[in-house]
Structure 1
Amino acid sequence: MSNTIYIGYYFKVKPIQPAVEILIAELGYAGFESFVETEEGVTAYIQKEEWNENNLDDIQILNSDEFEITFTFEEIEQTNWNEEWEKNFNPIVVDNVCAVRAPFHEKFDTQYDIIIEPKMSFGTGHHETTHMMIQHILKNDFKDKSVLDMGCGTGVLAILAEMKGAKPIDAIDYDNWCYLNSLENVERNTCKNITVIEGDASVLKNKYDIIIANINRNILMQDMETYVSCLNKNGLLFLSGFYADDIPMIQNECEKHLLKFEEKLERNNWVSLKFIN
């Protein structure tokens, strides 16, 4: 598969809050998938194949009299990502139990210590959806459970699943860049039970006790039937990558496939849902 090229938008925002939070939410709806908050505002990334000059037409805050927002944009070469993240990536600690850090950060005194070479904000733990998925994994029993991390990004969720005793684990992403990055991070964390696969839902053939899918609403809706067909009886399905407004649509699709809703986490209008088969 070919490498994914991104368009980076650099927004300067005055005053910063609450404008940045609103802007990120609206950009998420418009197809932007990665965000870095900066001292001046926010940097947002969208895949070049999803980009067109009309992407910002529905971003209402850009026309607000309350905030002054200017921006520039450029095509991002992949070689720029490491440098960008060394400048912008800060370590995080989730619930005082799990740390996610880069190799250039000092080790934390936490039960779980995950080291990743960060190349995008989805999958580092900084984005709300990954943060909530980490919370789900921390709260649930993964020992000796077979796990699928669908849309694995950096592989951080698969890595934490192994640290919690899961095996075997498949980590799948259609993006070649994510696939290669997950391979690096699996090795960096000396994981032994994770198989990284490049592809989409069409490559699924195994059955799992737990499926983690942190992607986006449209892909979740499109592939739900496939996920359910791969889920063992009494298996758990954790979903994220969408907003609170999307819950009825997602929940209806899950219930159509006889999944039972169990729990919701919410963080800055992003949500993560837990279902049982």
Structure 2
Amino acid sequence: MSQIYIEYDFTVSPTQPYIEILIAELGGAGFESFVEHETGVKAYIQKDEWRKNVLEDIFILTSDEVKITFDKNEIGQVNWNEEWEKNFDPIVIDDTCAVRAPFHEAYNCEYEIVIEPKMSFGTGHHETTFMMMQHILENEWKGKTVLDMGCGTAVLAILAEKKGAKNLDAIDIDQWCVENSEENVNRNNCKNIHVSLGDASAIPVNKYHTVIANINRNILLIDMEIYKNSMLPNAELYLSGFYSEDLPIIKECCNKLGLTFVSNKKRNNWIAAKFVS
């Protein structure tokens, strides 16, 4: 499908962690695709969906903590599927799990996941998704109930089911991500994943053996108590989407809620941490 898009090229200073926060807010305002670069991020919205006040409710643009400027241009038709085919290479995680698109050749490994990423997050290429998949590969999931918050493409929930999880709720605030997750769940023949639209208020009353949340620091801190209240005794919590300098405040928040830090992974200054209740 080809559409005419409006491109916003944002320059963000400092870049960390504000690019991630900006992307999250823009996603809620209707922007469909993001390309990070050295000084910021390019964000794309369909011309038919664009409006003059599209940035009116983007809170971070008025923050005193960061300077954000941008240029706006209308660009020609973009076939996003073709763009993904040119730029999306398969990845292999610890020689155990491969993530590829439908147009790649099949991999001979223990866990193979086929993802049509489109404009959603979570192909495994980003450091946070990669590390969260490592956590899943290293831990036991057989028979567990799982909550995947900010599921993106549902790649984490899909891997958890392939490792034996029995009932999984995958939730994302972005409608495009929900539709993409449902497609990927079906594509990978998963039977136990229920995908729904919403934020932490959409979490069912179910209690989970494991909660996964790969979002950003601010959302994690706001919703941490909700995650904790969704966990069974001795449950596991995996968090990512924040930088190494944010780990102390994440630990402090978890400790206040009775969650114990176990370990963390670090990749290019990004962190994926494990806690237990």
- TM-score normalised over the length of structure 1: 0.79
Q: 1:175 to 1:73 in 2, by over 3 A?
A: same
Q: Contact 1:7/1:51 (CA < 8 Å) preserved in 2?
A: no
Alignment partner, residue 269 of structure 1: 269
Counterpart residue identity of residue 271, structure 2? V
Q: Where does 1:198-277 land on structure 2 (aligned, <5 Å)?
A: 198-204=197-203, 205-277=205-277
Q: Contact 1:145/1:168 (CA < 8 Å) preserved in 2?
A: yes
Q: Contact 1:35/1:121 (CA < 8 Å) preserved in 2?
A: no
Q: Contact 2:34/2:44 (CA < 8 Å) preserved in 1?
A: no
Q: Which ranges of structure 1 fall in alignment gaps of 5 or more residues?
A: 12-21, 63-70
TM-fit CA distance, 1:108? 1.2
Alignment partner, residue 158 of structure 1: 157
TM-fit CA distance, 1:206? 1.1
TM-fit CA distance, 1:29? 5.9
Provide Cα deviations, 1:19-46, integer angstroms capped at 9, x if missing partner: xxx99656636634686578x9996448
**Following the alignment from structure 2 to structure 1, what is the Cα–Cα distance between the partners of residues 75 and 61?**
16
**Following the alignment from structure 1 to structure 2, what is the Cα–Cα distance between the partners of residues 261 and 231?**
15
Q: Where does 1:10-21 land on structure 2 (aligned, <5 Å)?
A: none
Q: Where does 1:25-174 land on structure 2 (aligned, <5 Å)?
A: 25=16, 28=19, 31-32=22-23, 36=35, 44-45=42-43, 50=58, 58=66, 74=73, 80-120=79-119, 122-174=121-173
Q: Contact 1:137/1:161 (CA < 8 Å) preserved in 2?
A: yes
Counterpart residue identity of residue 193, structure 1? N
**Following the alignment from structure 2 to structure 1, what is the Cα–Cα distance between the partners of residues 158 and 110?**
14
**Following the alignment from structure 1 to structure 2, what is the Cα–Cα distance between the partners of residues 121 and 263?**
28
**Following the alignment from structure 1 to structure 2, what is the Cα–Cα distance between the partners of residues 97 and 163?**
12
- Structure 2 residue matching 1:122: 3-state secondary structure: coil
Counterpart residue identity of residue 58, structure 2? E
Q: Contact 2:120/2:177 (CA < 8 Å) preserved in 1?
A: no
Provide Cα deviations, 1:134-184, integer angstroms capped at 9, x if missing partner: 000000000000000111000000000000000101111111000000000
TM-fit CA distance, 1:109? 1.6
**Following the alignment from structure 2 to structure 1, what is the Cα–Cα distance between the partners of residues 255 and 151?**
25
TM-fit CA distance, 1:83? 3.2
- TM-score normalised over the length of structure 2: 0.79
Per mean C-alpha deviation after superposition, the further-off stretch among 83-92 and 183-192 is 83-92
Q: 1:10 to 1:246 in 2, by over 3 A?
A: closer
Q: Contact 2:21/2:216 (CA < 8 Å) preserved in 1?
A: no
Q: Contact 1:36/1:121 (CA < 8 Å) preserved in 2?
A: no
Q: 1:6 to 1:172 in 2, by over 3 A?
A: farther
Matched residues, number: 253
TM-fit CA distance, 1:272? 0.6
Alignment partner, residue 176 of structure 2: 177
Q: Contact 1:30/1:58 (CA < 8 Å) preserved in 2?
A: no
Question: Is 1:9 aligned with 2:9?
Answer: yes
Q: 1:219 to 1:104 in 2, by over 3 A?
A: same
Counterpart residue identity of residue 159, structure 1? I
Q: Contact 2:17/2:242 (CA < 8 Å) preserved in 1?
A: no
Alignment partner, residue 68 of structure 1: none
TM-fit CA distance, 1:88? 1.2
Counterpart residue identity of residue 215, structure 2? I
**Following the alignment from structure 2 to structure 1, what is the Cα–Cα distance between the partners of residues 77 and 135?**
31
Identity over aligned residues, as a percent?
Answer: 54
